[in-house]
Amino acid sequence: MSDDPGRESDREPSMNISGGAEGGGIAAEFDPATADTRAEEVVDRLGELYWEKTYGGQDAFTCLVRTILSQNTSDKASQPAHDALIDRYGGSASQRDADSASGQPRADGVDLAESLANAERSELAETISGAGLYNQKSETLIDTADWVLEAFGSAAAFDAFVKDEEPSTVRDTLLEVRGVGPKTADCVLLFAGGRGGVFPVDTHVHRIYRRLGIAPADADHEGVRAVLERDVPAAKCGFAHTATIQFGREYCTARKPACLEDPDACPMGDLCDQVGVYPETDEVVDPAEAPEAGE
């Protein structure tokens, strides 16, 4: 996902992108007054700012495909590519993405892993061209489909594995696949498995919790994830991931955080250490490069 320099970016989606509690996800309550840690207080405040989500219920292989397509690009660019892929290569009823733009039934009974494993690479690349890096992503998708068929036999069996196995086993297994990094593995666990306690760290999450001073300024993605999964209750991690991204687009953007111009413009102002953000000089640096990071 890309950092947006402005604050006028995409709004929160108008519908819940998961199957919610009915799909195995967890509903959470948000009350900043009862938070045990500063991280939880931030998340509870996000719960007041944005609507509450629950997670789980997406088909695991479709979710994996969706996350691979979204790597290094915006949701705006990857969503049409995802819809075009599903329209062309099908998927059974359970594999239809809940937030597909068309919402139309597609090629029922076709196993998406099987049809992608048999896809002609250049045709697949052309289908997903809107998502960027389409040559690389088409290879990754075909390799991933091959892996799912070899290891599990079908997309449906892979889905059962993601939903039923221990999260750490699922995570380690996914990380063995070429092109699947920690964020992709965590998104599959969260959106498909509906697993509590999984806090995927993307560029927004990585930046914001280090600026807030909740994670060490020099922490890498895994370091930030460890702090958040320790300090945020399991049931709130899924919501917190997506709400933080939205907050990063609207308030704490990479180059122009809201507090730069107006100290009262950010709803997290009183909870934030502003590591690497200097309203006096209008400067912003990565928290790892801030002088206070070494203190």
125 counts as binding ligand SF4 under rule CB under 6 A: no
Secondary structure of the chain: what % helix, strand, coil (to 5)?
55, 0, 45
CB of 287 to ligand SF4, least distance (A): 9
Site for ligand SF4 in 235-254 (CB under 6 A): 251-252
Show the tokens assigned to 230: 């320790």
Of 16-24, 84-92, 229-237, 271-279: span binding ligand SF4 (CB under 6 A): 271-279
On the CB side of 64, how many CA atoms lie within 13 Å of its CA? 32
Query: Which of 1, 48, 15 minimizes the C-alpha distance to 249?
Result: 1
Q: Which of 113, 205, 277, 290 binds ligand SF4 (CB under 6 A)?
A: 277
Nearer to ligand SF4, 38 or 88 (CB): 38
269 counts as binding ligand SF4 under rule CB under 6 A: yes
Residues near 45 by beta carbon (within 8 Å), at least 6 away in sequence: 30, 32, 267, 268, 271
Q: Which of 35, 43, 142, 266 binds ligand SF4 (CB under 6 A)?
A: 266
272 counts as binding ligand SF4 under rule CB under 6 A: yes
Tell me the helices (H) and strands (E) count for the chain, helix number first: 12, 2
Nearer to ligand SF4, 224 or 272 (CB): 272
Q: Which of 231, 274, 287, 290 binds ligand SF4 (CB under 6 A)?
A: 274
Binding mask 194-233 for ligand SF4 (x = CB under 6 A): -----------------xx---------------------
CB of 270 to ligand SF4, least distance (A): 9
Site for ligand SF4 in 7-66 (CB under 6 A): none
Q: Which of 237, 257, 287, 290 binds ligand SF4 (CB under 6 A)?
A: 257
Question: Are 56 and 26 spatial neighbours (Cβ–Cβ below 8 Å)?
Answer: yes
Residues near 145 by beta carbon (within 8 Å), at least 6 away in sequence: 61, 112, 113, 114, 116, 117, 119
Look-up of token digits 């807030």: 212
Show the tokens assigned to 221: 């993605």
Count the site residues for ligand SF4 by CB under 6 A.
13
Binding mask 77-116 for ligand SF4 (x = CB under 6 A): ----------------------------------------
CB of 180 to ligand SF4, least distance (A): 30
Look-up of token digits 């892996």: 147
Quote the distance between the C-alpha of residue 217 and its chain's center.
22
Tell the burial category of 34 from Cβ atoms under 10 Å away from its Cβ (0-12, 13-18, 19+): exposed
Name the site residues for ligand SF4 (rule: CB under 6 A). Answer: 211-212, 251-252, 257-259, 266, 268-269, 272, 274, 277
